[in-house]
Amino acid sequence: MRRCRHVACRLTFRAGVSVTADLVQPYRTLRDNLKRRDRSLREKVVSLEDAASFVNDGASIGIGGSTLSRTPMAMIWQLIRAGKKNLSCSRCIISTDGDLLFGSGAANHIVSSWFSQGILWGLSKVMRHYVEKDLARYDEWSHMAMGMRFRAGGMGLPFLPMRSMLGSDVARIRPEVKEFDCPFTGERLLLVPALNPDVALIHVQRCDAYGNAQIDGLQFMDIDLALAANRVILTTERIVSNDQIRRAPDHTKIPFFCVDAVVEVPFGAMPHECYGTYEPAMDHLDAYVAQVNGDPVQGMRDYLDKYVYGPKSWAEFLSLIGVEALVTARRQGESIFDV
Partner 1 sequence: MSKSSSYTSAEILAVLSARQLKEGQVVFAGIGIPLLAATLAQRLRCPGLTILFEGGVIGAFVEPGKLPPSTNDQRCTKRANMVLGSADVLLLLQRGYVDVGFMGGAQIDQYGNLNSSFIGDWRKPKTRLPGTGGGNDISSLTDMIVAMKHEKRRFVEKVDFITSPGFIRGRNSRAESGLTHGGMFRVITELAVFSFDDEERRMKVLALNPGVTREQVQDNTGFELIFDNNVGVTEPPSEHELATLRSLDPARQFIA
Instruction: For the CB of residue 42, give the shortest distance to partner 1 in the complex, in Å.
Output: 28
Using CB under 8 A as the binding rule, whether residue 119 contacts partner 1 is answered as: yes
In DSSP notation, 68-104 reads: TBS--HHHHHHHHHTT--SEEEE-SSB-HHHHHHHHH
**Does residue 140 sit in helix, strand or coil?**
strand
Q: Give the residue among 95, 89, 87, 83 at the shortest CA–CA distance from 126.
A: 95
Q: Which parts of 251-270 interact with partner 1 (CB under 8 A)?
A: none
φ, ψ of residue 22 to 5 degrees: the values are -70, -35
Instruction: For the CB of residue 248, give the shortest distance to partner 1 in the complex, in Å.
Output: 16
* Spatial separation of the C-alpha atoms in residues 164 and 192, rounded to whole Å: 11
Stretch of 36-44, 45-53, 143-151, 239-247 lying at the interface with partner 1 (CB under 8 A) = 143-151
Query: Which of 54, 77, 114, 159: binder of partner 1 (CB under 8 A)?
Result: 114
Binding mask 216-255 for partner 1 (x = CB under 8 A): -xxxxx-xx-------------------------------
Q: Which residues pair with 239 in a beta bridge?
A: 207
Query: Which of 199, 273, 289, 304: binder of partner 1 (CB under 8 A)?
Result: 273
Stretch of 79-87, 200-208, 212-220, 258-266 lying at the interface with partner 1 (CB under 8 A) = 212-220
Using CB under 8 A as the binding rule, whether residue 163 contacts partner 1 is answered as: yes
Using CB under 8 A as the binding rule, whether residue 174 contacts partner 1 is answered as: no
* Spatial separation of the C-alpha atoms in residues 31 and 258, rounded to whole Å: 13
Consecutive H or E run containing 235: strand 232-239
φ, ψ of residue 118 to 5 degrees: the values are 155, 150
Binding mask 75-104 for partner 1 (x = CB under 8 A): -----------------xx-----------
Instruction: For the CB of residue 36, give the shortest distance to partner 1 in the complex, in Å.
Output: 28
Query: Which of 30, 68, 74, 232: binder of partner 1 (CB under 8 A)?
Result: 68
Using CB under 8 A as the binding rule, whether residue 66 contacts partner 1 is answered as: yes
Neighbouring residues of 241: CB distance < 8 A, sequence distance ≥ 6? 208
Instruction: For the CB of residue 273, give the shortest distance to partner 1 in the complex, in Å.
Output: 6
Query: Which of 19, 166, 287, 327: binder of partner 1 (CB under 8 A)?
Result: 166
Using CB under 8 A as the binding rule, whether residue 73 contacts partner 1 is answered as: no
HSE-up of 50 (CA within 13 Å, CB side)? 11
Please calculate the CA angle 148-151-156 and round it to the nearest 5 degrees: 125
HSE-up of 95 (CA within 13 Å, CB side)? 25
Q: Residue 306 carries which DSSP code?
A: I
* Spatial separation of the C-alpha atoms in residues 323 and 95, rounded to whole Å: 24
Query: Which of 24, 230, 279, 308: binder of partner 1 (CB under 8 A)?
Result: 279
CB nearer to partner 1: pick between 261 and 269: 269
N-terminal to C-terminal alpha carbon distance within the chain = 56
Query: Which of 60, 96, 104, 112: binder of partner 1 (CB under 8 A)?
Result: 112
Is residue 152 within 8 A of residue 144, CB to CB? The reply is no
Binding residues for partner 1, rule: CB under 8 A, are 66-69, 92-93, 112-116, 118-120, 123-124, 127-128, 131-132, 138, 140-148, 150-151, 162-170, 173, 179, 187-190, 217-221, 223-224, 273, 275-276, 279-280, 282, 333, 336
